[in-house]
Amino acid sequence: MKRRVGILTSGGDCPGLNATLRGIAKALYQRMGDGVEIIGVSNGYHGLINGQWRVMQPQEFSGILTVGGTILGTKRTPFKLMRVVGEDRVDKVAAMKAHYKEMKLDCLLCLGGNGTHKTAELLAGEGLNIIGLPKTIDNDIYGTEVTFGFHSAVDIATEAIDRVHTTAGSHSRCMVVELMGNKAGWLTLYAGIAGGADIILIPELPYTIENVCAAIERRAEQGKGFSILAVAEGACDAREARMKRSERMRRRAEQGYTTATNRIARQIEELTGIETRICVPGHMQRGGSPSPYDRVLATQFGAYAAKMVEDGNYGITIAMKGGHVGENRLAEVAGKSRLVPESHGMLEVARRMGISMG
């Protein structure tokens, strides 16, 4: 009897998804040859709910190591709606279980971020054999030191900071670069340090505009007429940090913005008189070919997941722990996220370097 292994990619795409699919497939074919069949589910849980799947051919996994995005397609299917029956009257959980059965799967591998892992845990709780693989540029999955996609995004975000440096210097301006990361500051912290940012603002450490401007003015007094700010899309000031997220978003919407970036730039100009521009690389941070680091990580994670399939070890997600690839129980990590802790060594490094954290 052939082992039937399902795979899907869910949530936002990122560099390294295809490299991971390739890692899983090559390792499975290598060990099991004709004894395994891989079934690709299209567009994440949306495809699982709607029965969109196909038997994949080994050659479909060739030539994709360096290719961005995902050959399976992806969609955001919010976890909070999984148990909600909408206007289409589809019971999503029942539909996913039925299609798993219809595909005659031995197990299903779910590549994705925090939301994907919550649904993966829900399905494992419903008795399906599930293995998660941690993908996200946000690097915020609990229980793993790193996720694939993160380092590629750090490379791209760093290049964005590098490139605005010249204009900042030539024009004696402040440049505010807004970086992704959702509620986590990892991407901004790493790219900010790699790009030599003077001020780094992350969601975990609410800033005050007075501290930001004081740092800019200190640099100006030292003859450095320009400053580079790396600002996480989730950054908020100390006053906003005391508000509920819904209230914060409502207030921002009333003032015509969603992230703090525009406001920070305007306040810097008002309070310091220094001309300020913003730069938002946006989805460029999620696009294109994975970095060599991510290709290696994706291959490690993929090969390890294939071993877990072989061993029949389910209800888990792959993780990097103490520099070694291993696994965590889904039940122990799903629903938690990993933010930058106050005690993190990289914050200490930033402060020692004289970088203002706002």
Catalytic residues: 138
Which one of the spans 27-35, 61-69, 133-141, 260-268 is the region binding ligand F6P (CB under 6 A)? 133-141
User: Rounded to the nearest whole angstrom, what is the least distance from the CB of residue 113 to ligand F6P in the complex?
Assistant: 6
**Minimum CB–partner distance for residue 173 and ligand F6P (Å):** 26
**Residue 182 in the binding site for ligand F6P (CB under 6 A):** yes
Least separation, in Å, of the C-beta of 18 and ligand F6P? Answer: 17
Name residue, tokens 């996480």: 232
Considering only 32-40, 117-125, 180-188, 310-318, which stretch makes contact with ligand F6P by CB under 6 A?
Answer: 180-188
Q: Which two tokens stand for residue 202?
A: 């992350």
Rounded distance, CA 38 to CA 36, Å? 7
136 sits near ligand F6P (criterion: CB under 6 A): yes
**CB of 286 vs ligand F6P, minimal distance in Å:** 5
| Least distance between ligand F6P and beta carbon 143 (Å) | 17
The per-type count for the chain, helices as H runs and strands as E runs, is 13, 11
Residue 113 makes contact with ligand F6P by CB under 6 A: yes
Question: Could you tell me which residues come within 8 angstroms of residue 245 by beta carbon, excluding any fewer than 6 positions away?
Answer: none
The answer to whether residue 117 forms part of the interface with ligand F6P (CB under 6 A) is no
Binding of ligand F6P by 137 (CB under 6 A): yes
Angle (CA) 96 102 104, round 5°: 105
Residues 188 to 207 in contact with ligand F6P, rule: CB under 6 A = none
> Which run of H or E residues covers position 9?
strand 3-9
Q: Which is nearer to ligand F6P, 168 or 180 (CB)?
A: 180
Q: Which residue is nearest to ligand F6P (CB)?
A: 180
H-assigned helices in the chain: 17-32, 44-50, 92-102, 114-125, 150-171, 186-194, 209-221, 238-241, 245-254, 261-272, 292-311, 330-333, 345-352
Q: Are 60 and 71 in contact (CB under 8 A)?
A: yes
Residues near ligand F6P (CB under 6 A): 12, 76, 113, 136-138, 180-182, 233, 286
